Structure formats: structure tokens, C-alpha cells
């Protein structure tokens, strides 16, 4: 409770400057390395800048006459949000105009002093925010850095919050005053940052606001900085390159004809995609490897099937380097190829993407010694260390949702930061955080996507900083009842702490789930039940009496979830807040469906228990033959009623998911509830 109170107070303090039109102290950028966190920032000495007063501004926005397309976007975005905040619409001029005393300089212009910004150091994404005299500079790497500088300024200095593509928080203040800023320089640890959650996969503008520059399958729009361009698909490409059916068994990588055919396909795709910087030559999504004599010999020589793949991919990469020196050849370390080989290393132009699919996602990868599922007998963290020692360009395909149960509360909030920091410590350059990419609104996807984007930009933030971001998001997104949503997330973590959680695990294994009670003879019939009710069993609603038997207690994650969401809804003040809560509540309905499935399975023992209680309370009411016959008929009736009741509940869940566009598992959209097998568990409706 103390932790929660402190987080709420911290979030309030973060917002306090907005009430006065001021911003947080100037030289406090998000930190990028542990060492930098220990360095004290000097206090500003130059006077503050009044960017607007009473809705009027003397400032102009200056961009380069021949500015890169994303820098043009940066200038117009700054103009748009500045007007929303204070009402003043700043003119946008190019740097071929005469300099003015008060300017907000966006991107690369002739307003810079020689050497003022080290653009080689900034790369494509690094940013700098600083003031000089009465000028404010928002600059960065030309491709995306300047755009990121604008969004960083709007967030950190003016208090804007870009939570989702459809939910932003823009403060209102007619006067905007900022302290002088000596230099806020930020250079991301990860070169490519891909938050593969639905909102990020369909909206380039929102991805840019969240500083996410990676898209595996569709590039970001150039006006928002673009992204790394792939020549062809971004993974599982052996089948495609060979013209085979999708996900065919892995080809023989020691077959020279296969090599020539795949090399020709690689060059064809590079010719068809001028400007591409990545091409994937990677195994299909299965573990059906070739075990011919030559492949087996290579595998034995290198101690891993990864040696077979690298031998092949390095040959492709050598040919690519001769004609396309700027292109990286991508391949996977996945299933059996995740094990680090000996006696071979990736070529300089080969990117190895290590996939964590077999791991536990409830505990930090570095610590989960008792419950990892990697068949190599090594921790995934050991594999990362091993690959980082031989690979100059290491990528990680990480998993941040449950792919069999998109709407199951996924308790991984406590490991996201630990894992990202471990990746950063071990030479990882490219992070692909896969979430519910093919549909919106699975449990806390908006919150998780937001936090992941923050972590990918700054994997060395503290957990108190991350917790404050979570509290702020929850309070803004869910309203005054956000404290109860935060409490539910703590219940998620507590109730799963002792369990390993894979990406396909059911609610029964993710959370502490009470086991069935021993069948027992009830001491008395349920209130109101008399022998005539049993004789006329078809006219009685028996479902409530299944709960009388209570073969299972409710799991805490369900009972607390329903209680806390109800409290949050009571405090909601707007229809938007209620809609956000309704969407998130589907995860509680999902849990209820799994609980009801087990509860309804107690129809038969309930009837037997009831009949035994009847014989005690009304001895001689039925002959043994009559009682046995009635019991058989009653079991059939109650099972039927239980099945209908469960299907009815699942129909309510299915309609809620369908109306929200939610997929309950990967790729399975609900478009017609009549096609669903609603007597099954939700993950098996198809």
C-alpha cells in the first residue's frame, strides 16, 4: 500500500508544473546508462524562456529550406500541439529567412553554430534539446531524431502524453515558460525498437510518438521517419526463397543446388527492393531439420544446428556484401539453432535474431533457474551471453503476450525492464517485442505497449520510474478508479509469482487455481428443494445448485478481479473511462469462463450428493430402483442445463470480444458467433 501511495504522489508531482505553465527542471533527460544516472546535472543558469503568454507568442518555428521529410513533419507537429496547449499558432519559416531573436529551431538549419551538434554521434535517432539565448533547439538525427526531439519536448517539458493512437493528454495553459536547457541529449541503446502491438503495427504517426522505429512486415511512413527496409519478408523465409509451401520442412543446407537457388532468390529480392537494408535468410517456423550425412556432420562439428545454418548464411552474406555492401543478412537462432555453435561465427554483415519462445516470461530471464523450458539445459540468458560474444549485430525476438490466450491477464510487468536491461548489457541492437499484433484490446495491451516503448528507449530506467509511468497511465486512461486497476495488476503478479509462465499456458497453470474438493455427502438438501422437484426435474433450474455443491472455490485472481473492476467502474467519470474499463474487463470475463467450465463439470457429483442428502432427509420417499432411475435422468438434465448455461455465458463473452474487434488468440478473429463451439473453452471455440 505504501508503494502505491508513493507512486501516486510521484505521478502528481510529475504533473504539478503543468498547472503553472512551467516544466520540470531542464537538464533531466531520460537516462541511458547506469553510469550516467550517477552524474549530477548542473542547475540552469540562463534565464527562462517565455514561449507563450496569455495565449500569445513571439516565437517562430524554423526548419531547413531543404529539410528531410520527417523534419517537415516535426515542425508541423510542434505547431499543432503548441496551438492545442496555449492557443497560439506559431508561424513556420525556413532557414533562408532572416534570423529572429525568438526562434524554435527544428532540425538541421543554418541557425546552428559550427560543431554545435555532433550528428555522427546522434545517428538516425539520437536527439538534442537545448536553449541558447532566447532560442530553443529541437534537433537530432535527420531521419527520425528531430521528430523524436519534438515529441520528447512535448512530453518532458510541456506535459503532453501520447498513450495510444486515439487517447492523448494535452494540457491547457495559455502561458508556457521553460527553464533554460543546457543540453538534453538522448541516444537510444537499441538501434531498432519494435513494439509489435496492434496500435503500433497500423499507425506510423503513433509509432513515431513512441520512438518505435522498427516494423518487420510493413515499413513506417517516410514522413514519420520510415524504418529499416526489408527486401521481402522479415523472417521464416526459406520456404519463400525456394518457392515452397509456407512452413515446409527446413531444406538441406549442404545441398549446392539449394544454395544456388536461394542465392538467386536473394539477389532478385534485393533488385526488386532498392534501398533495402535487410534481407532475411532464415529457417521456417518449425523444427523439422535436415539430418542428412553432410548436415549431421556439420552439426556435430559445431555442436549445434546453428553451425549448419551459419555456414550456409555466411556464404550468402559473402555474395551479398560484394554487390550490396550496406545490406545486413538476417537469420534466426530459433529452437535447435538457438544453441551457440563452436568453431564458427556470423559474418560481419549477418544479423542473428535469437528467439525466446521456449522460455518463462514470469521471471527475469537471468534468474529463472528452476523453471526455464529450454531443452538445451541452459538458461536463455546464457544463450544471449554466448551469442553476444561471437555476433556483432545481435537481435532479440521477445514475447510479451500469451499467444493462446490473448485476453488472459499476462503477468509479465515485473520482468519487462529486467530483461531489456540484460539485452542492452549484452550487445543486443535490435529488439522485437511481439504482442497482440493482429487485433486491438487484449487485456492491458495499451498499457503494456506504452511501457514497452518507454523501456526500449531507456532500458536503464529504475523500477520506481517505470512504476510511476504505469500509475500515471492508469490514472489518466481509466480515471479516478485507476488505483483499483493498479491493485489488480499487483494481484496478477502475486498470484502468479510461484509459477512459470510460457506463451501458451492456460489460466489453470498461470495462476494459483484451487483444486477440486473431495466429493462429499451434503448434510442437507439446498433450501427449497423437496422430493416433488426431483420428480418434476425438467421444470427446475438446476444450475444454481451446482454452485451449492461448489466443487471448486473461485481463484483469487477472479474474485479480486471482479471486485476491483467493479470499484473502478463506480468511480469512472466519463463514458471514455467506462469504455476503457469495459474493454479491459473482458480479461475478467475470460477468467470467469475458465472457472465456469470447471464448475459446470460438477453437475454429476452435485446430483449424486443431492440424492444422498434426499435419502437421509426423506427416508423411504423413493425405492432404490426409482432413486437410481431418477438420479440417471437428473444427471442428464443437469449436464444439459450446465452446458447451455456455459454456452450462454460464452456467447456474452464472444459478443463483447467481437464488438471490440478482439482476437482471443493469435490470428483468430471473431466475425460470426454462430460458428463458434461455445461449449468449449474460449481458446478452442474454433
347 and 277 in a common domain = yes
H-assigned helices in 21-64: 34-37
Three-state SS annotation for 332-364: EECHHHHCCCCCCCCCCCEEEEEECCCCCCCCC
228 and 297 in a common domain = yes
Average pLDDT over residues 334-351: 96
Q: How confident is the model at residue 15 (pLDDT cuts 50, 70, 90)?
A: very low
Residue 154 CA to residue 148 CA, distance in Å, equals 10
A 10 A CB-CB count for 405 gives 27
526 and 414 in a common domain = no
pLDDT for 374 equals: 57
Phi and psi angles of residue 50, each rounded to the nearest 5 degrees, phi first: -95, 100
317 and 427 in a common domain = yes
Q: Is the pLDDT of residue 315 over 50?
A: yes
* Cell numbers describing residue 245: 509451401
Is 482 part of any domain? no
The DSSP letter of residue 622 is: S
pLDDT in tens, 659-682: 999 988 888 889 999 999 999 999
Containing structural domain, residue 141: 2-186
219 and 170 in a common domain = no
A 10 A CB-CB count for 314 gives 18
Whether the full predicted model's pTM is greater than 0.85, yes or no, is yes
pLDDT in tens, 421-467: 999 999 999 999 999 988 887 799 999 999 999 999 999 999 999 99
280 and 159 in a common domain = no
Q: Is the pLDDT of residue 515 over 80?
A: no
The DSSP letter of residue 283 is: -
Share of the chain above pLDDT 90, in %: 78
Q: How confident is the model at residue 75 (pLDDT cuts 50, 70, 90)?
A: very high
Residue 611 CA to residue 531 CA, distance in Å, equals 10
Give the domain-ending residue among 186, 217, 236: 186
Residue 658 CA to residue 456 CA, distance in Å, equals 32
A 10 A CB-CB count for 431 gives 27
Count of structural domains, the chain: 3
629 and 603 in a common domain = yes
Q: Is the pLDDT of residue 139 over 90?
A: yes
pLDDT for 190 equals: 97
Residue 487 CA to residue 493 CA, distance in Å, equals 10
Q: Is the pLDDT of residue 279 over 60?
A: yes
Beta strands in 174-305 (DSSP E): 176-178, 184-186, 192-196, 278-280
Is 257 part of any domain? yes
Category of 427 on φ-ψ map: left (φ > 0), alpha (ψ -120 to 50) or beta: left
Give the domain-ending residue among 186, 213, 248: 186
Average pLDDT over residues 399-428: 96
pLDDT in tens, 94-118: 999 999 999 999 999 999 999 999 9
* Cell numbers describing residue 530: 423437496
255 and 174 in a common domain = no
Q: C-alpha angle 400/403/406, rounded to 5°?
A: 85
* Cell numbers describing residue 452: 514497452
Q: How confident is the model at residue 490 (pLDDT cuts 50, 70, 90)?
A: very high
pLDDT for 524 equals: 74
Q: With b meaning 16 or more CB within 10 Å and e meaning fewer, what string describes 29-64?
A: bbbbeeeeeeeeeeebeeeebbbbeeeebebbbbbb
554 and 568 in a common domain = yes
* Cell numbers describing residue 566: 467493479
Strand partners, 177: 50
pLDDT for 7 equals: 47
Task: Give the three-state DSSP class for 253.
Answer: coil
Average pLDDT over residues 270-286: 95
Q: How confident is the model at residue 2 (pLDDT cuts 50, 70, 90)?
A: very low
Is 241 part of any domain? yes
Dihedral (C-alpha) 508, 379, 236, 203: value to the nearest 10 degrees?
70
Share of the chain above pLDDT 70, in %: 91
Task: Give the three-state DSSP class for 683.
Answer: helix
Is 478 part of any domain? no
Is 418 part of any domain? yes
Average pLDDT over residues 584-607: 94
Cβ(432)–Cβ(397) under 8 Å? yes
Cβ(71)–Cβ(108) under 8 Å? yes
Give the domain-ending residue among 168, 186, 204: 186
pLDDT for 26 equals: 42
Task: Give the three-state DSSP class for 432.
Answer: strand
Average pLDDT over residues 35-40: 47
Q: How confident is the model at residue 519 (pLDDT cuts 50, 70, 90)?
A: low
Q: Which has more confidence, 38 or 618?
A: 618
Is 296 part of any domain? yes
We report the CATH number of the domain holding residue 45 as 3.30.379.10
Q: How many residues does the chain have?
A: 686
* Cell numbers describing residue 28: 533531466
We report the CATH number of the domain holding residue 363 as 3.20.20
- Mean pLDDT (the chain, rounded): 91
Cβ(190)–Cβ(428) under 8 Å? yes
Tell me which range, 24-28, 246-250, 502-506, 572-576, is most confidently predicted by mean pLDDT: 572-576
Is 455 part of any domain? no
pLDDT for 685 equals: 94
Is 472 part of any domain? no
Strand partners, 579: none
Residue 485 CA to residue 568 CA, distance in Å, equals 7
Q: How confident is the model at residue 375 (pLDDT cuts 50, 70, 90)?
A: low
A 10 A CB-CB count for 286 gives 14
Three-state SS annotation for 88-149: CCCCEEECCCCCCCCEEEECCCCCCCCCCCCHHHHCCCCEEEEEECCEEEEEECCCCHHHHH
279 and 226 in a common domain = yes
pLDDT for 29 equals: 44
The DSSP letter of residue 48 is: P
635 and 605 in a common domain = yes
* Cell numbers describing residue 596: 465456469
161 and 16 in a common domain = yes
Nearest to 258 by CA among 302, 299, 305, 312: 312
Q: Is the pLDDT of residue 219 over 90?
A: no
Percent helix / strand / coil, the chain, rounded to 5: 45, 10, 45
Amino acid at each position: 500500500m505504501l508503494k502505491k501511495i508513493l507512486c501516486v504522489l510521484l505521478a502528481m508531482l510529475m504533473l504539478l508544473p503543468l498547472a503553472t505553465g512551467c516544466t520540470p527542471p531542464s537538464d533531466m533527460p531520460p537516462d541511458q546508462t547506469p553510469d550516467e544516472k550517477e552524474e549530477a546535472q548542473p542547475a540552469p543558469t540562463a534565464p527562462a524562456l517565455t514561449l507563450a503568454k496569455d495565449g500569445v507568442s513571439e516565437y517562430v518555428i524554423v526548419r531547413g529550406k531543404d529539410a528531410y521529410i520527417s523534419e517537415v513533419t516535426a515542425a508541423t507537429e510542434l505547431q499543432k500541439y503548441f496551438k492545442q496547449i496555449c492557443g497560439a499558432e506559431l508561424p513556420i519559416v525556413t532557414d533562408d529567412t532572416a534570423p529572429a531573436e525568438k526562434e524554435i529551431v527544428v532540425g538541421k538549419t543554418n541557425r546552428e553554430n559550427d560543431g554545435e551538434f555532433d550528428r555522427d554521434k546522434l545517428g538516425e535517432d539520437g536527439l538534442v534539446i537545448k536553449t541558447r539565448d532566447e532560442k530553443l533547439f529541437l534537433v537530432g538525427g535527420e531521419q527520425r531524431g528531430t521528430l523524436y526531439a519534438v515529441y520528447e519536448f512535448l512530453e518532458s517539458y510541456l506535459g503532453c502524453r501520447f498513450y495510444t493512437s486515439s487517447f492523448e493528454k494535452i494540457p491547457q495553459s495559455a502561458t508556457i515558460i521553460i527553464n533554460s536547457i543546457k543540453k538534453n541529449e538522448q541516444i537510444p541503446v537499441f538501434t531498432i525498437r519494435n513494439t509489435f502491438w496492434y496500435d503500433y503495427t497500423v499507425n506510423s504517426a503513433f509509432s513515431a510518438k513512441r520512438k518505435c522505429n522498427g516494423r518487420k512486415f510493413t515499413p513506417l511512413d517516410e514522413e514519420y521517419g520510415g524504418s529499416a527496409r526489408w527486401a521481402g519478408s522479415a523472417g521464416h523465409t526459406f520456404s519463400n526463397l525456394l518457392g515452397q509451401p509456407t512452413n515446409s520442412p527446413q531444406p538441406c543446407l549442404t545441398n549446392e543446388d539449394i544454395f544456388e537457388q536461394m542465392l538467386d532468390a536473394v539477389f532478385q529480392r534485393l533488385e526488386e527492393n532498392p534501398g533495402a537494408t535487410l534481407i532475411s535468410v532464415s529457417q521456417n517456423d518449425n523444427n523439422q531439420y535436415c539430418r542428412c550425412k553432410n548436415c549431421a556432420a556439420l552439426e556435430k562439428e559445431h555442436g549445434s544446428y546453428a553451425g549448419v545454418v551459419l555456414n550456409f548464411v555466411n556464404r550468402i552474406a559473402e555474395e551479398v556484401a560484394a554487390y550490396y555492401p550496406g545490406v545486413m543478412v538476417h537469420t534466426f537462432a530459433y529452437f535447435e539453432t538457438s544453441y551457440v555453435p563452436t568453431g564458427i561465427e556470423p559474418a560481419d554483415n549477418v544479423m542473428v535474431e535469437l528467439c525466446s519462445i521456449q522460455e518463462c516470461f514470469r521471471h527475469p530471464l537471468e534468474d529463472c533457474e528452476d523453471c526455464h523450458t529450454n531443452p538445451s539445459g541452459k538458461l536463455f540468458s546464457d544463450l544471449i551471453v554466448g551469442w553476444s560474444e561471437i555476433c556483432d549485430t545481435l537481435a532479440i525476438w521477445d514475447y510479451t503476450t500469451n499467444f493462446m490466450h490473448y485476453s488472459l491477464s499476462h503477468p509479465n510487468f515485473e520482468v519487462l525492464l529486467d530483461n531489456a536491461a540484460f539485452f542492452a548489457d549484452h550487445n543486443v541492437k535490435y529488439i522485437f517485442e511481439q504482442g497482440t499484433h493482429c487485433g486491438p484490446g487484449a487485456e492491458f495491451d495499451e498499457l503494456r505497449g506504452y511501457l514497452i516503448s518507454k523501456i526500449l528507449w531507456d532500458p536503464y530506467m529504475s523500477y520506481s520510474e517505470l512504476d510511476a509511468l504505469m500509475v500515471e497511465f492508469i490514472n489518466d486512461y481509466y480515471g479516478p478508479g485507476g488505483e483499483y486497476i493498479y491493485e489488480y495488476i499487483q494481484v496478477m503478479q502475486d498470484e502468479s509469482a510461484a509459477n512459470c509462465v510460457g506463451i501458451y499456458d492456460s489460466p489453470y497453470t498461470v495462476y494459483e487455481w484451487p483444486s477440486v474438493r473431495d466429493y462429499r455427502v451434503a448434510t442437507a438438501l439446498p433450501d427449497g428443494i423437496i422430493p416433488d422437484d426431483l420428480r418434476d426435474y425438467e421444470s427446475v433450474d438446476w444450475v444454481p445448485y451446482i454452485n451449492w455443491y461448489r466443487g471448486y472455490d473461485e481463484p483469487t485472481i477472479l474474485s479480486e478481479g471482479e471486485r476491483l473492476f467493479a470499484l473502478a467502474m463506480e468511480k469512472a467519470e466519463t463514458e471514455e473511462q467506462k469504455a476503457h474499463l469495459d474493454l479491459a474487463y473482458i480479461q475478467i470475463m475470460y477468467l470467469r469462463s475458465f472457472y465456469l467450465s470447471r464448475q459446470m463439470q460438477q453437475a454429476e457429483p452435485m446430483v449424486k450428493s443431492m440424492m444422498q442428502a434426499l435419502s437421509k432427509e426423506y427416508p423411504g420417499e423413493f425405492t432404490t430402483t426409482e432413486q437410481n432411475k431418477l438420479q440417471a435422468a437428473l444427471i442428464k438434465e443437469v449436464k444439459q442445463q450446465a452446458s447451455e448455461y456455459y454456452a450462454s455465458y460464452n456467447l456474452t463473452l464472444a459478443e463483447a470480444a467481437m464488438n471490440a474487434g478482439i482476437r482471443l488468440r493469435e490470428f483468430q478473429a471473431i466475425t460470426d458467433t454462430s460458428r463458434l463451439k461455445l461449449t468449449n473453452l474460449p481458446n478452442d471455440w474454433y
